Amino acid sequence: MPPVKLEASVDIKPVENGNAKEHVTLPLKGLETIEPLVRSVEETPEQISTEVQGTIPSWINGNLLRNGPGKFEFGDTHYNHWFDGMAMLHRFNINQGQVTYMSRFLQSDSYRKNSESDRIVVSEFGTLAMPDPCKNFFQRFLSRFEMIDSTDNASVSFVKYKGDYYVSTETNFMHRVNPENVETLGQVDWSKFIAVNGATAHPHSDPDGTTYNMGNSYGSKGALYNIIRVPPEKTDAKETLEGAKILCSIVPANKSHPSYYHSFAMSENYVVFIEQPIKMDLLKIVTCKLRGKALSEGIYWDPKQETVFHLVDKRTGEVSAIKYHTKAISTFHQINAFEEDGFLMVDLCCADDGAAINNYLIQNLRKSGEALDEVYNTLSRPLPRRFVLPLHVTSDTPIDQNLNTRPSSTATCVKIGKDKVFCQHENLHGDDLFEYGGLEFPQINYGRCNTRPYRYFYGCGFRHLVGDSLLKMDLKDKSLKVWYQKGFFPSEPVFVPSPDATDEDDGVILSVILTPSQDKGTFLLVLDAKTFEELARAYVPVNMAYGFHGTFSASA
């Protein structure tokens, strides 16, 4: 089936922004309600068959693993934020053109304690657990002076360390998972191996299996950003993080108000940390229980702060003295980063404000009509952009002139001080992307292109509060291929390369499609990654909530 164009266009108008011409979109009206996509669903622990329409290539053999919230209340208590729902793990097994499906709730301590009490007893990002009503007044009063325990509700992503699969969030807890049946195998605490209070759900790996991540640490003198390196060798099957080291620590611009970050970038020789103006007020966070507020109340957007790129040498841990600044932007996901001709290209999805993290309340996602339109129209669109960072800036580098000598790039980078370079981005898209609401959940042919020059990336168009189209961007001419059908909401696209691939885009795109207007209308979509034409659908007779991230685990 060929890609379907949107039935109605979005009016676009240009605005001048420095050396780049940006566009803004006029407000949308009549968004379809997505309330069923943020509703609790039942798990399917026994494998079930699917109905396949079309032809799935016979060479695809493995599991598409997906993670995201699946339960939004216990008893009469309800979660407030999309990030808070209890993790549900999904497995689509693809073998010889056939697909089976199963799902399970992650057996975390949070899930178990909430289930036993039939109410929310473990606080999450946007939900503060209330004191036990069975305690007397004095006990409830004293409980407000206790620190909030970190949740182990690892609902964000599937990650891999030393060959083992884990689900993770942004706290210090992960869970090892069997990819063949998504059973929970055991909890792992980062803090038992390394002095950090958490880690991102988006690590990066080198070809030899060395894995890098980031995690904050908090002490009496404030916060530190830590770059983590996990060696590829497994010394003990039960201790996957054995040998993890802090490669280096970076001091925040404000130790009591460090930046929030969801991920980071990595090139062949550098880890790139982006310190953005989404800030965490540590005093508000540590006193949130006392104040009766959720942890999310301590996170805010400060548009007066510039965004700073920090470069760390992966071999030595040395932090570059040169800091690369740009205007205030927010970013959750990087696309790729690579070095070429003495420059470091950092490609990421970013927005011009940081309101999104606090706008994804359950009550907003469940709105309809004009109220839903109003929520969507307050959000800044996520757009793919490239920043070009010169790597060889010295005392002899001229000031106040563009150092980007690449004729194919409109990005600028200007030395404006002894150790400061100011960068303005290049758009990695054409005007047609605005019709689809920007792009998020970016993916590339990771095994072939991560840390290297590349041509294609994939993502979801967000002409809604969640993804409502699948997009393929060709960086050669910034042209766009689109899969869209009204009323269908695709998950993050996962690229699976064909075994005999010669071109970068030889393979398929896998995405789970949800249909809020149809009961149990879920299906796994298989697209030809090169043409973006539909190859097959595998219909799954279950309802799912809209999730976050996943991965493909190839069978031996």
| Per-residue pLDDT reduced to its tens digit, 330-380 | 999 999 999 999 999 999 999 999 988 888 999 999 999 999 999 999 999
Q: In what order do the strands lie in the sheet with 456-461?
A: 439-443, 456-461, 469-474, 479-483
pLDDT higher than 50, residue 288: yes
> Across-strand partners of 230?
211
Report which DSSP code applies to 184.
Answer: E
- Using CB atoms within 10 Å of the CB of residue 116, give its burial: 0 to 12 exposed, 13 to 18 middle, 19+ buried: exposed
Is residue 437 scored above 90 in pLDDT? Answer: yes
pLDDT digits (tens, 9 = 90+) for 497-517: 999 999 999 999 999 999 999
* pTM summary value: 0.92
Closest CA to 550 of 158, 103, 184, 85: 158
Side-chain half-sphere exposure of 120, counting CA atoms within 13 A = 21
Question: In whole angstroms, what is the distance from residue 460 CA to residue 509 CA?
Answer: 12
Does residue 141 surpass a pLDDT of 80? no
Angstrom distance (rounded) from CA 173 to CA 218: 16
Supply the mean pLDDT for the chain: 91
For residues 515 and 521, the answer to whether their CB atoms sit within 8 Å is: yes
Question: In degrees rounded to 5, what are phi and psi of residue 127?
Answer: -135, 120
DSSP one-letter code for 503: S
Q: Indicate the range of 230-239, 480-489, 521-530 predicted with least confidence.
A: 230-239
Structure confidence at residue 200 as a pLDDT band (50, 70, 90): very high
Which one, of 294, 357, 312, 365, lies nearest residue 330 by Cα? 357
pLDDT recorded at residue 23: 54
pLDDT in tens, 177-197: 999 999 999 999 999 999 999
Angle (CA) 421 427 430, round 5°: 170
The backbone region for 296, taken as left when phi is positive above 0, alpha when psi lies in -120 to 50, beta otherwise, is: alpha
Mean pLDDT for the stretch of residues 534-539: 98
Number of Cβ atoms within 10 Å of the Cβ of 30: 9
Strands 420-424 and 323-326: parallel
The region that residue 457 occupies, defined by phi over 0 for left and psi between -120 and 50 for alpha, beta otherwise, is: beta
Encoding tokens for residue 246?
Answer: 């802090």
The yes-or-no verdict on residue 172 having pLDDT over 90 is yes
Kindly list the distances between the CA atom of residue 265 and the CA atoms of 1, 275, 312, 320, 497, in Å, as whole numbers in the listed order: 35, 12, 11, 15, 22
Indicate whether 479 pLDDT > 80. Answer: yes
What is the reported pLDDT for 130?
A: 77
For residue 1, what pLDDT band results from cuts at 50, 70 and 90?
A: very low
The reported pLDDT for the residue numbered 359 is 87
Q: What is the mean pLDDT of residues 23-27?
A: 62
Report CA torsion sign: 311, 219, 145, 175: positive
- Percent of the chain beyond pLDDT 90? 84
Q: Which long-range contacts (CB under 8 A, 24 or more apart) does 464-467 make?
A: 464/31, 464/32, 464/34, 464/376, 464/437, 464/489, 465/31, 465/34, 465/360, 465/364, 465/365, 465/372, 465/375, 465/376, 465/379, 466/34, 466/37, 466/365, 466/546, 467/440, 467/441, 467/491, 467/492
Distance between CA atoms of residues 373 and 546, nearest Å: 19
What's the pLDDT score for residue 131? 58
235 pairs with which residues across the strands? none
Give the DSSP per-residue string, 33-74.
P-GGGGS------S-EE-EEEE---TT--EEEEEEEEEE-EE
How confident is the model over 313-330, as a mean pLDDT? 97
Distance CA 346, CA 325 (A): 13
Mean pLDDT lowest for which of 26-40, 135-149, 516-530? 135-149
pLDDT at 146 over 80: no
Strand partners, 178: none
Contact 194, 212 (CB under 8 A): no
φ, ψ at 208 (rounded to 5°): -80, 0
Q: Which residues pair with 157 in a beta bridge?
A: 168
- Assess contact for 498 and 507: CB atoms under 8 A: yes
**CA 94/CA 61 separation, integer angstroms:** 5
**Per-residue pLDDT band at 147 (split at 50, 70, 90):** low
One-letter amino acid of 125? F
Q: Is 465 helix (H, G, I), strand (E, B) or coil?
A: coil
Whole-angstrom distance, CA of residue 526 vs CA of residue 512: 9
Give the Cα separation of 329 and 308 in Å (integer): 10
Pick the more confident residue, 22 or 519: 519
pLDDT at residue 260, rounded to an integer: 96
Q: Which residues of 60-75 are buried (b: 16+ CB within 10 A; e: fewer)?
A: bbbbbbbbbbbbbbbe
Asked if pLDDT for residue 432 goes beyond 90, the answer is yes
SS3 for 218?
Answer: strand
Per-residue pLDDT tens digits for 291-309: 889 999 999 999 999 999 9
Residue 408 has pLDDT above 90, yes or no: no
pLDDT bracket for residue 149 (50, 70, 90):
confident
Look at residue 133 in the predicted model and tell me its pLDDT. 57
Mean pLDDT of 316-338: 97
Q: Select from 14, 3, 2 the least CA-distant residue to 434.
A: 14
Distance CA 203, CA 168 (A): 10
Gap between the Cα atoms of 379 and 368, Å rounded: 16
Identify each DSSP E strand in 164-305 by its residue range. Answer: 164-168, 173-177, 184-189, 204-205, 211-219, 222-230, 245-250, 265-266, 270-275, 278-280, 299-301
- CB within 8 Å of 362: residues ≥ 6 apart: 38, 72, 78, 79, 80, 81, 82, 84
pLDDT of residue 275: 98
Task: Reply yes or no on whether the pLDDT at 250 is more than 50.
Answer: yes
Task: With a cut of 80, say whether residue 393 has pLDDT above it.
Answer: yes
The whole-angstrom separation of Cα 169 and Cα 167 is 7
**pLDDT band (50, 70, 90) for residue 86:** very high
Burial of 345 by CB count in 10 Å (0-12 exposed, 13-18 middle, 19+ buried)?
buried
- Helix (H) or strand (E) segment spanning residue 286: helix 282-286
Q: Residue 525 pLDDT more than 80?
A: yes
Given pLDDT bands bounded at 50, 70 and 90, which one contains residue 221? Answer: confident
Q: So what's the pLDDT on residue 263?
A: 97
What are the backbone angles phi and psi of residue 63, rounded to the nearest 5°?
Answer: -120, 125
- The CA distance from 377 to 361, in Å, is 15
Query: What is the arithmetic mean of pLDDT over 9-28?
Result: 51
Q: What tens digit of pLDDT does each residue of 57-81 get?
A: 999 999 999 999 999 999 999 999 9
